[in-house]
Structure 1
């Protein structure tokens, strides 16, 4: 009887194993199909989850970049393994136990650095089943406002040089002539990385006397939806245009721009005077 009972028990257990395996095999780990864009110093959450929802509290969860054995964060045996964590991320990452209970493997990453830009892999396993998802993070550093200067070498055609530093990732440089035409194809751009890993750009364009006004626009290739570039400069660099003419047109532009403000202020003052008169009359 005992042997028969044990035999039935074994059959029941064996019959359940395929069902458990099928449930795990039907699950997958999902990252983000859109890159996450942030700035240095910000805190972000790298999204990742198991679908259908499955508790990951008893699983091993590993976040890494290129090297599997050097984790950005490792959750193993129900605890965080900071002893083998990448030293660049130590003290800056966290996994939520409450989220793990719901199958959410998202990683909290604090105090972003521009070197954090990478494709992150999220890997989860229970020893039998495993799944992996990916999330891209772009840490965007906006560089300095570009400056334009003349670069004239004896015997060669005069060039304008547009310089800007402190970018990540590499920015886009656009040249326009005085008529607003895009003349970037006539330019040559050099990109160099500084000691901090940020990028500096130097863009050169040859100029002629008859085309004496150029603008240089340096902007990020990965703008946020509501982000507007303010790194724009346009100036005249030829001796044919005197300094007093530049000052005259600048003063004229400022005066024209101030007219609407003065009109608004005059209406406000006129309205206030009317109110005072009415009060005195009453």
Structure 2
């Protein structure tokens, strides 16, 4: 009897181990995978305890079980039934499967890939699943603000930005920092690549003000902001050409003192240099005069001496030939 009791105790102690033998769990990621569009990412998922998944069925899917993002079955990838949006962009690591790591490699991620993914594993009669969330981010374009008004309707300001993922938040403020977002009407559209375009408008009153449109990502990212100053001249009143005329006139009047100062400075410099220039000119003239007089005097003396010699010679020849007196004339031009 005592032996039978001991045997029962041993069997009862082994029952938990037998009941749990061959059982495991699938663990996804408790933190979302955040990536920028175009990146290559890994969606974490593993089996615990770490048992080989080489002989298991491993299925990744999003919305529909029968449209797998990736399917591994009979020790090979079954790409013929894969969702066409993921074809050629997914893979499982064969070496990681041996360690019970069934993480999915997803290449060239797109905004449309954002969502919750389920990793499902089947081994024998046991199956488990885990989940991993993917958030694809994309910072859109600098927002632009424009005026949109039609006859008979109140003037509106329209803020537009595109290329976002996920959907951004649009905030309107005036010059005083007051939040006007509650007065706006946003519109969101998705393009063929999954990027979002946002448009928001508010109605404005006929008064001068400054409005800003802030487009902000819902996850930590840089923000884009644009401002637009609405002048009272936009509304019926003083025309735009008059504003431009008075602005030009003010700039011209402001430039007059500078022009007067510059003119006086140039005039003073001219007066200072004028005596020096005159003195220099006189010295040059005196030098030229002396040179000219000296040269001409030598020429006169030379001409006069030649004239006297020629006259004397002529008179001597006449006397010798005729024996009569004669006169000689020298003319200097």
- Normalised by the length of structure 2, the TM-score is 0.63
Rounded to whole Å, the distance in 2 between the matches of 1:45 and 1:100 is 14
Q: What is the correspondence of 1:106-185 to structure 2 with a 5 Å cutoff?
A: 106-185=103-182
* Conserved 8 A contact 2:28-2:45: yes
Residue of structure 1 in register with 2:21 after alignment = 23
The answer to whether residue 202 in structure 2 is matched with residue 205 in structure 1 is: yes
Rounded to whole Å, the distance in 1 between the matches of 2:199 and 2:87 is 36
Unaligned runs of 5+ in 1: 1-15, 249-282
Say if 1:195 and 1:81 are closer, same or farther in 2 by CA, change over 3 A.
closer
Rounded to whole Å, the distance in 1 between the matches of 2:150 and 2:233 is 19
Q: Deviations over 1:44-80 (max 9, x none)?
A: 0001111222221221111111111121111111111
Q: Deviations over 1:199-256 (max 9, x none)?
A: 2211111112445101001121123xxx322x111121335386769xx9xxxxxxxx
The answer to whether residue 186 in structure 2 is matched with residue 189 in structure 1 is: yes
Q: What is the correspondence of 1:22-61 to structure 2 with a 5 Å cutoff?
A: 22-25=20-23, 27-61=24-58
TM-align CA RMSD: 2.4
Rounded to whole Å, the distance in 2 between the matches of 1:53 and 1:234 is 56
1:228 alignment partner, SS class = coil
Rounded to whole Å, the distance in 1 between the matches of 2:101 and 2:152 is 66
How far has the Cα of 1:34 moved from its partner? Answer: 2.0
Rounded to whole Å, the distance in 2 between the matches of 1:158 and 1:24 is 71
Rounded to whole Å, the distance in 2 between the matches of 1:43 and 1:110 is 4
Rounded to whole Å, the distance in 2 between the matches of 1:121 and 1:86 is 14
2:124 alignment partner, SS class = coil
* Conserved 8 A contact 1:178-1:211: no
Structure 2 counterpart of 1:232, from 206, 225, 230 = 225
Rounded to whole Å, the distance in 1 between the matches of 2:139 and 2:51 is 40
Q: Deviations over 1:107-165 (max 9, x none)?
A: 01011112211211100011211100011111122222110011122222221110112
Higher relative contact order (CA 8 A, sep 6+): 1
How far has the Cα of 1:18 moved from its partner? Answer: 8.1
Rounded to whole Å, the distance in 1 between the matches of 2:116 and 2:100 is 21
The answer to whether residue 86 in structure 2 is matched with residue 89 in structure 1 is: yes
Say if 1:61 and 1:110 are closer, same or farther in 2 by CA, change over 3 A.
same
Rounded to whole Å, the distance in 2 between the matches of 1:17 and 1:183 is 67
Rounded to whole Å, the distance in 2 between the matches of 1:21 and 1:125 is 18
How far has the Cα of 1:81 moved from its partner? Answer: 1.4
2:21 alignment partner, SS class = helix
How far has the Cα of 1:186 moved from its partner? Answer: 1.2
More helix by share: 2
How far has the Cα of 1:195 moved from its partner? Answer: 3.9
How far has the Cα of 1:19 moved from its partner? Answer: 4.6
Aligned length: 226
- Normalised by the length of structure 1, the TM-score is 0.73
